């Protein structure tokens, strides 16, 4: 019996899992770290925190499972938050804190990139618009605002690829994560030299880019000493958190769609043929599955918005949950279930840190609209969940508008633990939603990539069919779907009505 390890460098913490060749999870561990917001719209983390947490997480897993020559670890796969930029000097030392995917300081840089390249040029060269979250704008920001740091800049890595470097001493990237840098020719699966030339950045900043299943390093002597792993274990390319999340839920072929309710919300649809949304409201990136792409819509605060709501407005419920020894989110959804679909006209816009799909607006703000003396806290709780789900439906509709068929929706993330929220998704999307037995997320996908990359398994479709089991199918209710459709129409109209006001608020805050 052999084993595979998957490591996911998330925004909240690192998760490590160990699975056997039957796909059974033998052990897992999570080690959290801090996110820093030193200024408005800034979001940063210390890459050294990722590394320390990774070492600790690996050690915790190895303590739970006795690894011998008869049950060795034969490969390691990596997953991580997309877009976030790690800046290294010529000695491979971190220059400054990493600028994260949810950081929106780069609005001016995005405007400059769009003017320099043109919207048409971005569509043709990298298949995506210039957005604040993407990596290229962060590099330009460093050049514009921290020239002393930029002068020291030698390499730019993404979070999981920095951990690959610390584990193996190899600097490498892979296609799914590279797709989110705005420096990658997604259609042809290679770095875009054309973009680099236009924005005057050297190719030397980037590392070689491989398919996700390629072996891109081996555990070094130093990493073996720190972690307890055996020297020489292959480290596979791995994937961005979204592609690993998709593989970990079996979303590896056209027609299946991933609905992920994590800190951000993601709708992920595999493509057998390359295509893009003509308006570039949704992204097109490379899938970690060979010869596939995917179209993706993102709402920046999904379960993160629900967590914000809980932290700020549910102190009484938190105390009640503690007394009843009940999970706080279960208590909140239990109370939300006492309210009718549509929350009696109370509608929530979940744009707490701006929005990506479909609005591409860093200045968008969160809104509770339509409340009256009749509305209770339970209404606000339900409206929060509905608003997040409406935002995901925006992405579903864009993907379908390109001719892409959506047959089945596979749910993952923290929101997928709630039967109430799963049924709400089925009703709002008007499609069947599948919950799964495994809840390991991107870390499991990273492990499956490592298994295919090292030859343990032949391909993703066969492997996922064998290893990933469906727990329950949630079917839409025609009555609830009809009711939600009325309020979704209002939800869709709110952003255009408030767009100018969002801009005015942003300008007022700056003053």
374 and 443 housed in the same domain? no
Q: Which residues are marked as active site?
A: 241
130 and 43 housed in the same domain? yes
Element containing residue 439 per DSSP (H, E): none
- pLDDT of 159 strictly over 80: yes
Instruction: Tell me, yes or no, whether 78 lies in a domain.
Output: yes
How confident is the model over 175-185, as a mean pLDDT?
97
Instruction: Tell me, yes or no, whether 10 lies in a domain.
Output: yes
- pLDDT of 30 strictly over 80: yes
Report pLDDT for 1: 87
- pLDDT of 70 strictly over 80: yes
Measure the CA–CA gap between 157 and 183, rounded to whole angstroms: 12
Instruction: Tell me, yes or no, whether 271 lies in a domain.
Output: no
Instruction: Tell me, yes or no, whether 69 lies in a domain.
Output: yes
- pLDDT of 438 strictly over 80: no
Assigned token pair, 394: 């925006």
DSSP E strands in 272-427: the ranges are: 283-286, 293-299, 347-349, 367-369, 408-412
- pLDDT of 237 strictly over 90: yes
Measure the CA–CA gap between 125 and 226, rounded to whole angstroms: 42
| Environment class of 38 (CB within 10 Å of its CB; exposed 0-12, middle 13-18, buried 19+) | exposed
Instruction: Tell me, yes or no, whether 175 lies in a domain.
Output: yes
- pLDDT of 439 strictly over 80: no
Q: pLDDT (tens digit, 9 = 90+) per residue, 404-426? A: 999 899 998 888 889 999 999 99
Residue labelled with tokens 């990298």: 126
Measure the CA–CA gap between 283 and 300, rounded to whole angstroms: 14
Mean pLDDT of the chain, nearest integer: 95
DSSP E strands in 314-414: the ranges are: 347-349, 367-369, 408-412
453 and 500 housed in the same domain? no
Query: For residue 463, which of 252, 172, 316 has the smallest C-alpha distance?
Result: 252
Residues for the chain: how many in total? 511
457 and 494 housed in the same domain? no
Element containing residue 168 per DSSP (H, E): helix 159-168
Q: pLDDT (tens digit, 9 = 90+) per residue, 389-405? A: 999 999 999 999 999 99
Report pLDDT for 435: 93
Structural domains counted in the chain:
2
Supply the DSSP string of 70-136, one letter for each residue: TS-EEEEEEEE-SS-BEEE-TTS-B-SPEEPTT--TTHHHHHHHHHHH-HHHHHHHTSS---TTSHH
459 and 420 housed in the same domain? no
243 and 311 housed in the same domain? no
Beta bridge partners of 270: 294
Report pLDDT for 393: 97
461 and 482 housed in the same domain? no
449 and 331 housed in the same domain? no
Q: Under a CB-based contact definition with an 8 Å cutoff, are residues 393 and 350 in contact?
A: no
Q: pLDDT (tens digit, 9 = 90+) per residue, 182-232? A: 999 999 999 999 999 999 999 999 999 999 999 999 999 999 999 999 999
Residue 443, CB-side half-sphere exposure with 13 Å CA sphere: 26
How confident is the model over 420-441, as a mean pLDDT?
92
- pLDDT of 372 strictly over 90: yes
Residue labelled with tokens 């460093």: 142
For 419, the domain range is 303-427+477-510
Assigned token pair, 373: 């003396």
Report pLDDT for 509: 85
Instruction: Tell me, yes or no, whether 370 lies in a domain.
Output: yes
Checking DSSP bridges between strand 25-32 and strand 13-20, what pairing results, if any?
A: antiparallel
Instruction: Give the residue, 405 or 161, on which the prediction is more confident.
Output: 161
Residue 340 sits in a domain whose CATH number is 3.30.420.40
Other beta carbons less than 10 A from residue 280's beta carbon: 19
- pLDDT of 440 strictly over 80: no
Angle at 357 between CA 351 and CA 358, to 5 degrees: 100
Report pLDDT for 422: 97
Residue labelled with tokens 């129409």: 489
- pLDDT of 441 strictly over 90: no
Measure the CA–CA gap between 511 and 505, rounded to whole angstroms: 10
Q: Kindly report whether the global pTM for this prediction surpasses the value 0.75.
A: yes
Return the percentage of the chain with pLDDT > 70, whole number.
100
Instruction: Tell me, yes or no, whether 392 lies in a domain.
Output: yes
191 and 108 housed in the same domain? yes
Q: pLDDT (tens digit, 9 = 90+) per residue, 475-495? A: 999 999 999 999 999 999 999
390 and 463 housed in the same domain? no
Instruction: Tell me, yes or no, whether 35 lies in a domain.
Output: yes
455 and 488 housed in the same domain? no
Report pLDDT for 41: 84
Q: Under a CB-based contact definition with an 8 Å cutoff, are residues 450 and 5 in contact?
A: yes
Assign 468 a pLDDT band (cuts: 50, 70, 90). confident
Return the percentage of the chain with pLDDT > 90, whole number.
89
182 and 325 housed in the same domain? no
Q: pLDDT (tens digit, 9 = 90+) per residue, 257-304? A: 999 998 889 999 999 999 999 889 999 999 999 999 999 999 989 999
Q: Under a CB-based contact definition with an 8 Å cutoff, are residues 270 and 34 in contact?
A: no
């Amino acid at each position: 019996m052999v084993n595979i390890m998957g490591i996911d460098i998330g925004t909240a913490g690192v998760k490590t899992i160990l699975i056997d060749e039957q796909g059974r999870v033998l052990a897992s561990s999570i080690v959290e770290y801090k996110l820093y917001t030193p200024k408005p719209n800034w979001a940063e983390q210390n890459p050294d925190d990722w590394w320390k947490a990774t070492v600790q997480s690996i050690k915790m897993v190895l303590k739970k499972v006795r690894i011998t020559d008869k049950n060795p670890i034969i490969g390691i796969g990596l997953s991580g938050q997309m877009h976030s930029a790690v800046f290294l000097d010529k000695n491979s030392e971190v220059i400054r804190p990493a600028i994260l995917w949810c950081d929106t300081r780069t609005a001016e840089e995005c405007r400059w990139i769009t003017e320099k390249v043109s919207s048409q040029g971005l569509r043709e060269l990298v298949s995506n618009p210039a957005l604040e979250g993407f990596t290229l704008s962060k590099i330009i920001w460093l050049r514009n605002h921290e020239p002393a740091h930029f002068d020291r800049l030698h390499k730019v890595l993404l979070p999981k690829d920095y951990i690959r470097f610390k584990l193996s001493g190899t600097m490498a990237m892979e296609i799914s994560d590279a797709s989110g840098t705005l420096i990658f020719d997604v259609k042809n699966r290679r770095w875009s030299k054309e973009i680099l030339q236009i924005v005057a950045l050297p190719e030397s900043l980037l590392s070689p880019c491989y398919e996700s299943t390629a072996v891109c390093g081996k555990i070094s002597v130093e990493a073996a000493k720190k972690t307890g792993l055996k020297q020489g274990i292959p480290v596979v390319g791995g994937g961005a958190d979204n592609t690993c999340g998709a593989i970990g839920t079996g979303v590896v072929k056209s027609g299946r769609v991933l609905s992920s309710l994590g800190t951000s919300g993601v709708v992920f649809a595999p493509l057998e043929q390359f295509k893009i949304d003509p308006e570039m409201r949704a992204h097109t990136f490379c899938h970690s599955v060979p010869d596939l792409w995917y179209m993706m819509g993102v709402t920046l605060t999904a379960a993160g918005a629900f967590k914000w709501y809980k932290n700020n407005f549910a102190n009484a419920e938190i105390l009640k949950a503690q007394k009843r020894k009940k999970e706080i989110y279960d208590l909140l959804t239990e109370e939300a279930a006492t309210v009718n679909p549509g929350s009696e006209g109370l509608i929530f816009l979940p744009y707490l840190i701006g929005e990506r799909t479909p609005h591409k607006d860093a200045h968008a703000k969160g809104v509770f609209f339509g409340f009256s003396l009749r509305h209770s806290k339970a209404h606000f709780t339900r409206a929060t969940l509905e608003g997040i789900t409406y935002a995901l439906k925006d992405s579903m509709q864009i993907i379908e508008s390109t001719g892409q068929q959506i047959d089945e929706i596979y749910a993952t993330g923290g929101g997928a633990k709630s039967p109430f929220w799963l049924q709400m998704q089925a009703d709002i999307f008007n499609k069947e939603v599948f919950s799964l037995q495994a809840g390991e997320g991107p870390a499991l996908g990273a492990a499956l990539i490592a298994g295919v990359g090292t030859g343990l398994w032949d391909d993703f479709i066969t492997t996922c069919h064998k290893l990933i089991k469906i727990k329950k199918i949630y079917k839409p209710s025609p009555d609830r779907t009809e009711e939600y459709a009325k309020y979704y129409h209002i939800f869709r109209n709110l952003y255009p009505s408030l767009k100018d006001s969002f801009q005015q608020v942003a300008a007022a805050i700056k003053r």
